[in-house]
Amino acid sequence: MKRMTILVAVSFLLIIASIAGERIQANDSILVDPGNLLSQGITPDETSSEQPPPLPPGGNENRFREKFFEKIKLTDAQRAKFMEIRMKYEDMAEDIVLDLQKARLQMVELLRSDNPDRKKIDQSLNQILYLEKKRQKLLVDEYFETRNILNPEQRRQLARMMVRMLLRGK
């Protein structure tokens, strides 16, 4: 049972991470590719106040969400609660994702330097790892909060969905 819970948690993390990744890619390709920022001459300071535009209607996130709602057979109340939870964590994760992009851009700049400083590169890597860990913890928190709105059968259905997705490599 403990292994199944861990497997379900990891699966949920992968799904949420793929949703977040698709949202970022759909919203602003500049934020996804630090090299693109560099080629445009944009520095981390110039990107710090930018906010990505909202997802267009019918984006990948919306299709996944509807499929999830149908498979798990969420009630209208559960759907509303799920969306409330999702928006709460999406707002928290957005700042971390932007900070990650800036940290990665800084790492690229350090690596491109004529005389790369190993100590600064290690510090930059530690910052990236710290931010990534923070993002992953948010995903775990979201998983457990979402799991709490499901009944036992829905939890089992979610576990089956996650196992299938993991086995398919998604």
Domain assignment of residue 130, yes or no: yes
SS3 51: coil
Share of the chain above pLDDT 70, in %: 61
* Average pLDDT rounded to a whole number, residues 88-99: 93
**Rounded CA gap, 16 and 90, in Å?**
10
pLDDT of 70 = 83
Residue 52 domain-assigned (yes or no):
no
- Asked whether residue 50 is assigned to any structural domain, the reply reads no
118 falls within a domain: yes
pTM: 0.58
pLDDT for position 161: 76
Tracing tokens 């990534």 back to the chain, one arrives at 132
Block residue for tokens 């948010």:
138
Residue 88 in any domain: the answer is yes
- Domain membership of residue 143 (yes or no) is yes
Whether the Cβ atoms of residue 38 and residue 161 lie closer than 8 Å to each other? no
Count up the domains in the chain and report the number.
1
Read off the pLDDT of residues 134-159 as tens digits, 9 standing for 90 and up.
998 998 898 889 889 999 999 888 77
Residue 15 lies in a domain: yes
- More confident call, 167 vs 48: 167
Containing structural domain, residue 123 = 2-45+57-168
